[in-house]
Chain A
Amino acid sequence: MNRQERRLSRRVLLRRAGLFGLAASASALLGACAGQQATPTPAPPAASPTPAAAASPTAPPATPAAAASPTATVGPAAGEIVIGILATLEGAFALYGEEAVRGVELAVAEFGGAIAGKKIRLVKESTDATPQVAREKARKLIEQDKVDCIVGPLSGDEGLALRDYAKTIPDKTIVNGTSAAQDTTLRDPAPNFFRFSTDGVQWMAGLGTYCYEVKGYRRVATLGEDYSYPYSQVAGFLLEFCRLGGDCVAQFWVPIGTKDYSSVITAMPSDIDAIYVILGGADAVNFLKAYADFGGKAALIGGSSTIDQNVLETKGALRERVIGIPGAMPVAADNPDPAWKAWVDAYRKQFPQGLSTPSLFCWGYYVNAKGLLLGLQAVNGDLSDGQKELQAALAKVEFDGPTGHIKLDKNRQAIANNFVVEVAEGPDGNLYNKLVRVVEGVNQTLGLPEDKYLALGSFTRDNPTCEKIKQTFGS
């Protein structure tokens, strides 16, 4: 080591920090290349894929991106349809991503791995739940992997990014994963972005009413992560709760990945009946733990991801803290519907190492993939003419999924059932979401008049307030 560097050197550190940044981006690049895995679909016999089915002479005039892509212009006779899965397979949401991929694989297996004789090939790509990376990875799927359609993304802000990206690739089709920011389809929607899953506002249908009428809560505070999906969730809850006469006295928004909630809990007002909590994954676990440690008195109300199956399967002492928390989501573990039971059986059979009950992430990717496959079936796998026929067919797709009937509205957004649930302990000791109420056919405005609803404006960290909801719709 030379003389100048003998002392503890700031420069050494800074240079190394620079190297770290450099290396981190280099590794991200490497990861981008290595992360792509072609998944053989399980069911079909090895129909030999014809990867370079050269652009057929009848191919339509294509955009530059598509022109460079042989598989993008395959005619009906060509061998395969390539579907890209965009999900978060790393970091704090890794488990959600695993569930997402299972959902797509489940749907593909249901169709025997092929549509109209064309083999379906899946290409997985992982995001880190940020909009920038989601867009970048979607571009990679379209431009390098030459996928025909994308299923994804997983998280709220990513969905908004892909809606905007979808507008730049009109001859490709994106169906959502579980991304649930409402504005993705409500405001300024993209004509080739379809969402067969319901959004964060719809996922709250029934909960505000249940908390007000059955639980008797009148004053609540809310706590959520600071991005588009929790904004939708809080709004969805307040839309019902405030119209009935409830009050929201304080709102807290914390950065994603906040570890230590002790000071937020201390800052909660003491004269409330309940705290509405919408945090995902480890954030939810950390909050629940701190809340119990600090002897929190107010009851808790769970957003859809706060009491999702992924959180309920936390290893360790969490269980006493979550039993009895009410919440709402598009799935309920003990749904008596035979279609749900059959679906859960199929899940357990195909993924013995999976969760005890499929999570809402599995459901979201499943229904979206299924919608896409039904659309593909309707056009016999014909992706010519810039996928126009496929997109027209997708808009008309209606089906009975594991949680009931699903159809799309004029913005290509699902209208579907929603479930009010309560965390309970099953006979096998596993925690699950016990069905309390079914709310049928929930549309994007929760049945409220659309003009008034749109006049509320985009949901943000301070919109809508309880007062505004009461003024707009009358309490």
Chain B
Amino acid sequence: MKKCYINGVGCISTQNTFDTEFLSEVAINTTENVLFANQPSYKEFIPPAAIRRMAKGVKMGIAASTKALEEANVEIPDAIITGTGMGCVEDSEKFLQAILDNNEEFLTPTSFIQSTHNTVGGQIALGLQCKGYNFTYVNGAVSFETALLDAKMQVENEEANAVLVGGIDETSKHTLELFKLVNLIKKEEDQPYSVLQPNSKGIVFSEGASFFVLENQKKESSYASIQAVSTISALEMDEVQNYIEAFLASNNLKKSDIDAVVLGNNGDVEFDGYYAISDSIFKETPQVYYKHLSGEYNTASSFGFWVASNIIKNQQLPEVVSLNKLHKESYKTVLLYNQYRGKDHSLIVLKKC
């Protein structure tokens, strides 16, 4: 079985992460309950004739994937696998709104054909003329991890030499209104918003796209190798420790092997108790948090994956993501744990290569 290396990355987030050094330009938000992506100029990545039809998620996906492919020096991957929780909601909303506005008549094709969840994967393939395996996983907050698991297995089993994998989610006006209505998004009066000292329910909602090129060969550009990925639908808070310990044991790892743990705390007072492992089994381990930078969305964990990959490659844990201010001289093995509202738990182990 081959190893699975991360050889290229591309990240568009609410921070300027696309064309800057790792977390060199970050701003911590405490006053906005919705954060929008810091988008690059897309003209150098997408032909003008195509760009005019694309919603934000598609453009973010194409730009981030282009960057990852360039870094890995891969022209056309053998497979393109994406994960998205909500898909292309912007065009879905446009299409549904047109149905209402026009009394179910005069429906135009553009927003409809771009409204499906696999639009991003499809448009990337069209741009690259990549006729290989193309799959999109829509699986809530483990959409990215499910895509990653598929990609990892394809690389390890030599079904593909190079796989482009990514997580994308975009915001859209009506969906944001609905999320606010059901209090999934933090209320204005709960400011200032804090991920580490949460005092209110709900999340700071956001969007982004993070792409990675996985290959079965180590390159100069390699960030880390992926040792293991695990997902589980639901857990009680008191079951998390057992889940993690069993996962580590099944991968022949001890707690002391973990050099840093990347946690998905999002400032929701109702559910951040799931990360109590930071005060128990990983109390003495350097801890990383990132959703104060990225905000929360179904594939925000792909931003965490990007952070973890960079920590291993740079062998440095930036202060801005350090949760307990503990550091180590080297980061050989990093564990990521994420969940959303007590559901969609995921664990990933990355190793220095």
Whether both chains belong to one complex is answered with: no
